Structure 1
Amino acid sequence: MIRIAALATGAAVLALTPTSEALAGKRYEATITRTTYGIPHIEARDWRGVGYGVAYAYAEDNLCLLAEEFATVAGERSKHFGPEAKAVLGFEEIDNLSSDIFFRAVVDLPALREGAKALPTRVQGLMDGYVAGYNRFLKDAGADGIPAECRGKAWVRPITTDDMLRLNEKQMLLASSLNLAAAIANAAPPGSPAPKVAITMPDPKELGIGSNGWAFGAETTADGRGLVIGNPHFPWKGPARFWQMRVKGPEGYEVMGVGLAGTPLPTLGFNKDVAWTHTVTEARHFTLYQLTLDPADPTRYMVDGASEAMTTQTVSVPMPEGQPAVTRTLYTTRFGPVFVVPTRGITWSAQSAFTLKDANRGNQRGIEAWLRIGEAKNVGEVQAAVSETLGIPWVNTIAADRYGDALHADVTAVPNVSAETIKDCSPPIAGLFAEFAVLLDGARSACDWEIAEGTPAPGLMPASDQAATVTRSWLTNSNDSYWLSNPAMPYRALSPILGRHATARSLRTRSNFVETAALLAGGTVDHARAQDFAFANKSLAAEMAVEPIVKLCADRAILPQTVGIGCSVLDGWDRRFDNASRGAALFRAFWPKAARLSGLWTVPFDAADPVNTPRGLATEGDKADKLLAALGEAVEELEKAGIAVDAPWGDVQRVMAGNEAIPIHGGPGGLGILNVQEAAAAPWGLTPRHGTSYIQIVGFDENGPVADAILSYGQSTNPASPHAIDQIRAYAAKKWHRLPWHAEAIEAQALGKPKRIAE
C-alpha cells in the first residue's frame, strides 16, 4: 500500500477556497472550474500554476491511466505487471520486458536532463508545475481516494521531472521508433539466442493512427471568417486518449482544446483568433540504414572504409519480487540503434545489420511549438511556430483564423534527406522497405542527414523544403501526403521522405474531396452544415460498388442462397454507417475481401484525375464470380458470428456500459468513411477500438471563438466517474456541445464551485 494518507496533512494542503492572503507567496496556485461533461477550466497566474492545475485535473479524471504511463516510461512494467504481459506503446501492443528494455536503453535520460536546462523558462515552469500538481492530487486523494482500479498499487507513486522528460520523449516517438521498440530491444549479435517474442515491422496503414482535418477560408464560409473541422482518429482506450481542457494563463494565453496524457496544455484546439487541428502526416520521421560490418567483428561497422565500434549499453530490468533482474546489452551506432525483424529477413548477420535514426529522438521543442500556436493571432503565426521550432513531431497542422485565411502545414521534425541522396544512397534491397521507411547505405558518411543552416537541431529538414499552403479557399488532409490538400492546388514534388507525389490516394482521402466538393456545391459552410457533414457516415466504397453488385445480382438467373441474401440486403441499404443503417455490417465484412481482388477497377489511377480514379467496378467474367463469392463469404461470416445480416448498424457496433448498450455510428476508413470507427470483435458484435475521438467545429464571431465539439469516449477512464460515458451517449445521438468560452457561458455550465489549489 502506498503511503499517501500520511502526506495529506500539513501546509501543502489548503482549503478549497483560500483567501488571497493565503495564496500570496505560494509557489503553485491554480483554479479549476468544471463545466458540462466535466471539462476543466484551469486558470493560473504563471506557467507553473498552469501545469499544476492541468495535472491535478487530469489526475482527477484519469489517475490510473497516467500512473501506469509513468511506470511504462520508467521501464518498470515487468516488475509490476510481469515481463510477458502486454503494454500499449501509443498505438500497438508490446511485451513488457521489451518495453522496459527500450525505455531503459533508448530513452537517454541524462541527455534529456541536459536538454531541459536549455528549454524556455515557461516550458520548464509547465513541467515543474505538472509534477507538483500530480503529486498534490495523490496527497489530497489519500490511499482511500485512489480509484479502485489502481488503489494500493505500488506503481501509483509521486513523480519527478525525470518522469515528465521520459513521457514527453515517448510522445515524440509515437509514430517512429516506438513502433520498432521490440525490434530494438531484442537485437543481438550473430550467435545469440533467437528472440523469444514476436517482432513485426508495422504497416503505417495498420497502425490505427489517422485523422481528418479541414480549414475553410473566407471564400467558402457563410460569414467570411475561417472555420476548422477537426476529426482526429485515436484509440478509445489506453494512453493515446484525448482529454478536454481550457487553460487561461499568463501573458494573455487562453486556449481550449485537448491533449494526450501528460501534456500540460492543449495541443489541438482554438483561441480567440485561431483554430487548429492535426492529422498524422505521411512524412517519415526516421531513416533506416543498412550497415556493412567489419569481417573481423560483427559489433563493428564500416564507414568510408574505416571500422567503427558500436556503442554498447547494458540495462538491468527489475522483475517481480523473488525473481532476478533481467540484463540485456543493446548496440547503437552513429546511425542509431540496431534492430531486427527476423520474419521480414531483417537480421543481424556477420555481414550486415540494420539501424534506425530518429529525428524525434531528443525532440524537446514540442511544448514550446504548441505554446506558440496557442498564442497565435493568425495562421501566419501558426506557420511561423511550426517552422521555426520544427518541434511538431509527426502531424500536419491545419488551421484557420478569424480573418478568413486557411493553412495546411506539413512541417515537422523530418530527416534532411533529399531526393538525390535517396536515389544515390538506396541499397539494392531498399524497395523491400519502401512502404515503411527510407533505407540508406550506412557504409558511406555521405548518406547521413545533411546539416542545414538555421535548423534548431542538426540534420533536420528546413521548413522551407517542406510543404505549407495558405489560402482563402479550403484545405484538408486525411493522412495522405502533402501533394493534395485541395485538388485544385496540387503541390510541387518534394523529397520522397515527405511522402508520395502524384500517386493514388486512399479511399478516405478521395471521399474527403468528393464530400467536401458536394458540401461547397450546396452553399457556404456554417456550423450546422459542418455538423451534418462530419457525421454523414457515407462510404465511398459503397457509392462506387453497391449499385454494380446489385445489378450483377439481378442479371443472374440463379444465385446461391447466401449470395441472394447478401444481394437483397445491399439493395435495401442506405449506403451509410448510421446507427439505423441496415446492411452496413454486411458491407464491412464484404469490402475487405473484394478489395483484395486483382483487377478490381476498369479505369486505372490517373494523376490528372486523382479524385475520381481508379473507378468502375470490374464485373465481367470471372471477376463477377469472385465478387459474388466474396459476398457469400461475408454473409456466412456474419451468420457464424451470430450477427444478423440486416441488423441495424447500431445493434452491431456498440459500447457496453454495464447493462447499457450505446450504439456507435461510423465505420472503417478503408471503406472510404470519413467518420472512422475501427472496431474489434466483442460478444455482442463489435466495439470501437480506435477512430473518431475529439471532433471540433470552430468558427469566430466578433466576440471570440464559436465552438461545437464532442469527445466521443468522454473525459474519464474511471468507471465510477459520471464523465466516463456521458459523451459516448452524446456521440451516439450526434448531440453537439457548444463549448463555453466567455465567463457568462462558463458560469452557466459550471458544475459546482471552483476549486482553488495552492502550495
Structure 2
Amino acid sequence: MARRRSRARLPLAVMAAVAVMGTTAVAGPSVAEAGPDKPTIRYTEYGIPHIIASTWEGLGTGYGYAAAKDNICTLADTYLMVNAQRSRYLGPAGKASPGQSQNSTSNLNSDLYFQRINDNQVVERLLEQPAPNGPEPEVKEAIRGYVQGYNRYLAETGVGNITDPACRGAAWVRPITELDVYRHAHAEIIMGTADPLLDGLVNAAPPGASAAAAAAAKSPTAARRAKSARETGRRIREAMAASRSDSMGSNALAVGAQGTSGGTSMLLANPHFPWQGKNRMWQSQLTIPGKVNVSGASLLGLPAVNIGHNDDVAWSHTVATVAPFGLFDVQVDPLNPTMYLVDGAWQRMTSQRVSVDVLNADGSVGKVDRTMWSTRYGPVTASVQGIPLPWVVSAHAVRDVNMDNLRALNTWFHLDQATDVHDVVNTLETTQGVPFFNTIASDRKGNALYADIQATPNITDEHAQSCLTETGKILFNQTLRLPNVPPVSIFDGKRSACDWPADPNAVAPGLLDPRKQPRLIRSDFVGNANDSAWLANPEQPLSFPRVMGDTAAPRSLRTQELILTAQNRINGTDGLPGRGFTPENMRHLLFADNSRAADLALNATVKGCQDVPFGLVLVDGNLVNISEACPILAAWKSHDFTADSRGSWLFENYWYRLAGGKGVESLPWKVPFDPKDPVHTPNSLDPGNNAVRDSLARTVLAMRNAGIPLNTALSDAQKVTRNGEQIPIHGSIHELGVLNVVTPGLVDGKMDITFGSSFIQQVRFAADGPPQASSLLTYSQSADPTSPHYADQTRLFSAGQWVTERFTEEQIAASPALETKVLD
C-alpha cells in the first residue's frame, strides 16, 4: 500500500539544539549541537522518553536502549521464554505467562510449546516472505536498530551491574538477535490461542490401541453422545468465561465533532493489561522528521506505538470477541489412534519429537522429550482451557489464524503514520494483522471510528452451520450466554470441505474477507468495552458473521456504563456543566469510578438486607447476622469506587459472589433483557431472592473472618506495595461495571494489581494546532525497584492525577526535568 506521511514537523533550529555530551545523560535544554542523524533520547517528567532519529534504524536504536534501561529484566525474561529456555535456567516447575492470563502454565509446558514453533522455523519462514505477510523494510530497519540499542545498553552496564535485582548477574541475561525480537512479536500475536490451548497442545498423547478399541466398542447411544457433547461445550464455555474475567480487557471511546466541546474530536484509551511481565506497556514518543511523529505506548519491546496518537489521528485497541482459533474433530481408527478419517480415506498423523533442556534439582541439566502429533488441520490438543477433550474415538486438532501472522508489525507501523480514520481502515484491511483486537480511533477532521477488522477465521454463518459438531454448536452459537466468550468452532474434520476456505479478498489463506468485518464512522461517538461490535453505537447497531461475536444479546455492565457515560455527557444530562466532552470532564468521568452495578442494584440490595428477619441468615452451616451491613450500604450513595469510598469494598465482594463468572442475564432481575432496550435491561434486582441474601451473608462472614471492617475505606483494602510504600488504588473489577478496572490478586505471595487500567490516554484534536493529550502509565515506566520511575506514576494514579503530555518540540524543550542522551 502507498505510504502516507503524517505531518511531523521539526524546526531546524530545534534540531540543532539537541543536547549532547558524549553518551552520558545531561540535564538542561541544550549544551551542544547534534544532527538528527544521531539517535537521541530526551527524557521529560516521569522518565518518558522522546526518541528522535533520521532513520528507522536509528529510531529503533533509541527505543531499544531506553526500553532496556527501564526494563531489562522483564525483556530478558521474555526472550528466555520465546527461546524455550525457562526450564533450563529457572526449573521446569516454575510459572510462565505466554498468554493473556498471568502465570497460566509451567515453564516446562511453555518451553515445549515454543520449542515446537522454533523447531518448525515458523518465524524464520515468515521473515522470508514479502510484505504484507512478511515485515516491511522499515519494520526490519527499526528492529535491527532495536537490537543494537538493547545490546549497547547491556554492554555498557554489564550483567553484573544491572540495578534490578530480578536479573542482576543472571546467566540468562545475554545480548539478543533480531530473531529474538521477531519471536517475541510472534508470541504476542498468538497469545490469544496460547492461553486456552497451550497445555492441551503439549500434553496430547494417543491412547493405547486396546484402550481406544474398548472405548469404541462401548458405542454409546446417540442420545448419550449428544448429552456428553452438550456437557463438554458447557464446561468449556464456563471455563473460558472465568478465564476472560481474569485476563486482559479494555475500554475505548472515540468522540466526533458532534460530541466534543471546543474541539473536533477526542479519544479515551483505557486498556486493562497486566501490571507484571511481558505484557506490560511502556510509553514513548517516536519521531523521524518528515516521516513519523507518534506518541503513546507499546507492549514492552516492540519498537512502535501500539496505542497512541500522531498529529492527526488517535487510536486505541480493545480485546475483541473473535476466537483466533478453531478446532477440528477427527475420527480416529480404534486400532491405530494416530490414523484419522478424511473424505472416506484414512490418513496418518505426523509426529514430532520435541526436546528441551531442564534444570534438575541437583543443579545438573537434563533433557525432557515429548512426542507431539499433527493432522492436516493442525496440531492435536488434549484440552481447551483445562477441560479435557479425550483422544479416544476422535481427536481434536487446532488451527490458529495467527500462527502465520507477523503482519501485525506492519499494521502498527502504518497506524503510527495514519492521516485520518479512513487511512486507519485502509491499514486494517490491507494488512489484516490485528490479532484479536478492536480498533477505536478519532481524527482531526471530526470523525470517530470503530473497526473490528482483524485476522479472523474465514467462517461464514453458512459454513459454520454445515460443519459444526454437537459440541461445536454449544460453543459457537448462543446456547449459553456468558460474558464476552468468543464463539469457538469445532468442525467435522471427516470432511475436508469443512476446513477454512481461502478468500481471494483476504490477505492470507483462511482469513475472513475484511470487507465483511464490522466498522462504523460517526460524528457523535463510538466505543467498546470488550463486548462484540453490535452496539459500538446503539443508534446504529452492527451486523456481522457470528464468528466475530453475538448480536441482540445482553451487554456487560461495563459496556452499559461506557455507552451511558457517552450519551449523558453529549446530552448534558450527567450533572456536569455544559454539553459535550472536554479533556477535563473526560478525565473526570473515567476516574469518577462509577459502578453500573450499584446504580442498578444497590437500593434493592439494601432492601433485601433490611427485610431479613432479625438480620440472621444461615449459610454454609453458619448463622450470620447481616444487619450491620444494611446501613453501611445505604450510606454509600455515591456508587463510586474512589479511594475514600466506604461501603464500596463490601458491595464489591458481595456482587462478585452474586455475579462472578455469570452472564448479566442470569442474575435475579425482575425485568429481563430486552434486545430493543439493551442499554437499560435487565434491571430491577429482586431483593427477596435467596441468592441476594446468601451472597451478602457469605461476604459479611468472610470479611469478619479476615478482620476487615464492613465499612472499610477502599483505600485501606485495595493497595499495591512499592519498596515498602503502600499505595491505595481506586477502581474495581469489571463485574461492577466500573470503567477504571483494577483486578487485585497475589503476585509472588503478595497482594498486588494483576490486571487493570495500564496506559491511559486522553487526546483532543482541534481544527488547528497540535493535539492536546494527557496520559498515565499506572504502574510507571520501570519494573526495576531501584528506578526513580518505579512508582512515580502509580502515585499519580492513586491521587487521580494525569501527566500533561509534551508532544511538540517547544513543549519538550520546556520540560524542567529534561535530560538528553545522544547515542553516537
Normalized against structure 1, the TM-score is what?
0.93
Contact 2:82 2:183 in 1 (8 A): yes
Say which of 686, 705, 720 aligns to 1:640. 705
Describe the shift of the 1:750–1:294 C-alpha distance in structure 2 as closer, same or farther (beyond 3 A): farther
Shift of the 682–495 alpha-carbon distance from structure 1 to 2, 3 Å rule, reads: closer
Mapped to 2, the partners of 1:549 and 1:585 lie a distance apart of: 14
Partner of 1:548 in structure 2? 604
* CA shift for structure 1 position 658: 2.9
Aligned to 2:529: 478
Q: For 1:44 and 1:617, how far apart are their aligned partners in 2?
A: 58
- Between the aligned partners of 1:594 and 1:136, the Cα distance in structure 2 is 53
Partners in 2 of 1:469 and 1:446 — Cα distance? 33
Supply the distance in 1 between the matched residues of 2:559 and 2:210 (Cα, whole angstroms): 45
Q: How does 1:650-661 map to 2 (within 5 A)?
A: 650-661=715-726
Query: CA, structure 1 residues 17+513, in 2 after alignment: closer, same or farther (shift >3 Å)?
Result: closer
Aligned match of 1:497 = 547
Q: Is the 8 A contact 1:589 1:637 kept in 2?
A: no
Q: What secondary structure sits across from 1:508 in the alignment?
A: helix
Pair 1:223–1:209, CA change in 2 (3 A): same
Instruction: Name the structure 2 match of 1:585.
Output: 649
Tell me what 1:7 maps to: none
Match of 1:38 in 2: 47
* Residue aligning to 1:312: 351
In structure 2, give the amino acid aligned to 1:179: P
Q: 1:151 to 1:555 in 2, by over 3 A?
A: closer
Structure 2: state its 5+ residue gaps.
Answer: 1-20, 212-235, 477-484, 573-578, 617-623
For 1:494-528, what per-residue CA distance to the aligned partner results, in whole angstroms no more than 9, with x for missing partners? 21110011111111111212222222222111101
Structure 1 contact 109–165 (Cα < 8 Å) conserved: no
1:325 offset after TM fit, Å? 0.6
**Letter matched to residue 305 of structure 1:** G
Is 1:715–2:731 an aligned residue pair? no
Q: What secondary structure, in the 3-state scheme, does the structure 2 residue paired with 1:42 have?
A: strand
Q: Distance in 1 between matches of 2:610 and 2:433?
A: 57
Find the counterpart in structure 2 of residue 9 from structure 1.
none
How many angstroms does 1:603 deviate by?
1.1
Q: CA deviation at 1:684?
A: 12
- Distance in 2 between the 1:384 and 1:580 partners? 46
Distance 1:224 1:303, change over 3 A: same
- On the 8 A contact 1:177/1:356 being kept in 2, the answer is no
Residue 207 of structure 2 corresponds to residue 190 of structure 1: yes
The one-letter code of the counterpart of 1:728 is T
* CA distance in 2 between partners of 1:180 and 1:456 (Å): 25
Q: CA deviation at 1:408?
A: 0.4
SS in 1 for 2:761: strand
Work out whether residues 714 and 730 of structure 2, in 8 Å CA contact, stay in contact via their aligned partners in 1.
yes
The verdict on how the C-alpha distance between 1:86 and 1:684 changes in structure 2, with shifts beyond 3 A counting, is: closer
Of 203-212 and 495-504, more deviation after overlay is shown by 203-212
Shift of 1:55: 0.9
Q: Which residue of 1 aligns with 2:744?
A: 679
Alignment of 1:35-184 (within 5 A): 35-92=44-101, 93=103, 94-107=105-118, 110-117=121-128, 118=130, 119-147=135-163, 148-184=165-201
More deviation in 574-583 or 320-329?
320-329
**CA distance in 2 between partners of 1:161 and 1:683 (Å):** 31
Q: Contact between 1:220 and 1:525, CA under 8 Å: does it hold in 2?
A: yes
User: What residue is the counterpart of 2:13 in the other structure?
Assistant: none
* Residue in structure 1 matched with residue 325 of structure 2 by the alignment: 286
Say whether 1:223 aligns with 2:262: yes
Give CA-to-partner distance per residue, 1:610-660, whole Å, 9 cap, x none. Answer: 11111111134xx1x442232121111111122211111011101112332
C-alpha distance in 2, partners of 1:336/1:98? 18
* Structure 1 pair 143–402 and aligned structure 2 pair: CA distance change class (3 A): same
Structure 2 SS opposite 1:265: coil
1:725 maps onto 2:791 in alignment: yes
CA distance in 2, matches of 1:614, 1:384: 38
Range that drifts further, 270-279 or 218-227: 218-227
Distance 1:750 1:387, change over 3 A: farther
Matches within 5 A, 1:228-243: 228-243=267-282
Query: Does the 8 Å contact 1:34/1:750 carry over to 2?
Result: no
Q: CA deviation at 1:554?
A: 3.9
Q: Indicate the residue corresponding to 2:217 in structure 1.
A: none
Amino acid at match of 2:683: R
CA contact (8 A) 1:697 1:707 kept: yes
CA distance in 2, matches of 1:505, 1:17: 51
Matching of residue 689 in structure 1 with residue 754 in structure 2? yes
> Does 1:572 pair with 2:614?
no
Match of 1:6 in 2: none
Structure 1: gaps of 5 or more residues = 1-12
Matched-pair contact (CA < 8 Å) for 1:652–1:685: no
Q: Does 1:610 align with 2:660?
A: no
What do the CA deviations read for 1:420-446 (whole angstroms, capped 9, x no partner)? 111010112224534551111111111
Q: Do structure 1's residue 518 and structure 2's residue 568 form an aligned pair? A: yes
Deviation at 1:686, TM superposition (A): 5.3
Residues 47 and 250, structure 1, Cα contact 8 Å, conserved in 2: no
- Provide Cα deviations, 1:702-746, integer angstroms capped at 9, x if missing partner: 221110111111000000000000000000111111110111211
Structure 2 CA distance for aligned equivalents of residues 386 and 303 of structure 1 = 35
> Does structure 2 retain, via aligned residues, the 8 Å contact 1:170–1:178?
no
Q: Distance in 2 between matches of 1:108 and 1:489?
A: 48
Aligned to 2:226: none
Higher mean C-alpha displacement, 118-127 vs 56-65: 118-127
Q: Does 1:439 align with 2:490?
A: yes
Deviation for aligned residue 1:300: 2.2
CA displacement at 1:681 relative to structure 2: 5.5
Equivalent residue for 1:244? 283
Contact 1:483 1:491 in 2 (8 A): yes
| Native 8 Å contact 1:643 1:685 kept in 2 | no
Give me the whole-angstrom Cα distance separating, in 2, the residues matched to 1:704 and 1:748.
Answer: 16
- Give, in angstroms, the shift of residue 31 of structure 1: 0.7
Aligned length: 735
**SS in structure 1 opposite 2:97?**
strand
Residue number in structure 1 paired with 2:501: 450
Aligned residue number for residue 469 of structure 2: 427
Aligned partner of residue 336 in structure 1, secondary structure: coil
Q: Is the 8 A contact 2:505 2:514 kept in 1?
A: no
CA distance in 1, matches of 2:113, 2:780: 31
Contact 1:653 1:685 in 2 (8 A): no
**Residue type of the partner of 1:155?**
W
The residue matched to 2:521 in structure 1 has which SS?
strand
Moved more, 65-74 or 695-704: 695-704
Residue 389 of structure 2 is matched in structure 1 by 346
Q: 1:250 to 1:451 in 2, by over 3 A?
A: farther
**CA separation in 2, counterparts of 1:108 and 1:165?**
15
Given residue 511 of structure 1, which amino acid in structure 2 is its aligned partner?
E
TM-score normalised to structure 2 length = 0.85
Aligned twin of 1:735 = 801
1:753 positional shift: 3.4
Tell me the secondary structure at the aligned position of residue 375 of structure 1: coil
Amino acid at match of 1:38: G
Q: Is the 8 A contact 1:211 1:233 kept in 2?
A: yes
| Separation in structure 2 between the aligned mates of residue 46 and residue 274 of structure 1, nearest angstrom | 22
Alignment of 1:259-338 (within 5 A): 259-320=298-359, 321-338=363-380
Q: 1:685 to 1:757 in 2, by over 3 A?
A: closer
Whole-angstrom distance in 1 between the partners of 2:307 and 2:250: 12
Determine if the alignment matches structure 1 residue 212 to structure 2 residue 212.
no
